[in-house]
Chains A and B, each alone.
Chain A
Amino acid sequence: SSELTQDPAVSVALGQTVRITCQGDSLRTSYATWYQQKPGQAPVLVIYSQNNRPSGIPDRFSGSSSGTTASLTITGAQAEDEADYYCNSRDSSGHHVIFGGGTKLTVL
Chain B
Amino acid sequence: EVHLVESGGGLVQPGGSLRLSCEVSGFTFNNYAMSWVRQAPGKGLEWVSGTRAGYGFTYYVDSVKGRFTISRDNSQNTLYLQMNSLRVEDTAVYYCAKGSSGVELAILDSWGQGTHVTVSS
A residues near B (Cβ < 8 Å) are 30, 33, 35, 37, 42-45, 48-49, 54, 84, 86, 88-90, 95-102
Contacts of A35 in B (CB 8 A): 45, 108
Min C-beta distance of B98 to chain A, whole Å: 10
A-B contact pairs, 10 of them (CB 8 A): A43-B37, A43-B45, A45-B108, A48-B100, A49-B107, A54-B109, A88-B45, A90-B106, A95-B105, A96-B61
| A102 adjacent to B107 (CB under 8 Å) | no
Is A43 a contact of B95 with CB atoms below 8 Å? Answer: yes
Whether the Cβ atoms of A97 and B106 lie closer than 8 Å is yes
How far is A49 from B107 in the complex, measured between Cα atoms in Å?
8
The answer to whether A99 and B108 touch across the interface, beta carbons within 8 angstroms, is: no
**Cross-chain contact A48 with B45 (CB below 8 angstroms):** no
Bound together, the chains give a CA A90 to CA B100 distance in angstroms of: 14
**CB within 8 Å: A-B pair count:** 61
B105 touches A99 (CB 8 A): no
CB-defined contacts of B14 to chain A, threshold 8 Å: none
Q: Is the CB of B111 within 8 A of A102?
A: no
For B42-66 the 0/1 string (1 means CB < 8 A from A) is 0011110010000001010100000
Give min CB distance, A22 to chain B, whole Å: 12
Chain A binding surface, main DSSP class: strand
Contact at B45–A99, with CB atoms within 8 Å?
Answer: yes
A45-B107 in contact (CB<8A)? yes
Which of B45, B61, B113 contacts A86, CB < 8 Å? B45
Q: How far is A37 from B45 in the complex, measured between Cα atoms in Å? A: 10
Q: Nearest residue in B to A52 (C-beta to C-beta)? A: B107
Contact between chains at B111 and A44 (CB < 8 Å): yes
Minimum CB–CB distance from A36 to chain B (whole Å) comes to 11
Selected contact of A42 from candidates B61, B105, B113, CB within 8 Å: B113
Judge whether B106 and A42 touch: CB under 8 Å.
Answer: no
Contact residue among A44, A54, A90, A99 (Cβ-Cβ distance under 8 Å from B46): A99
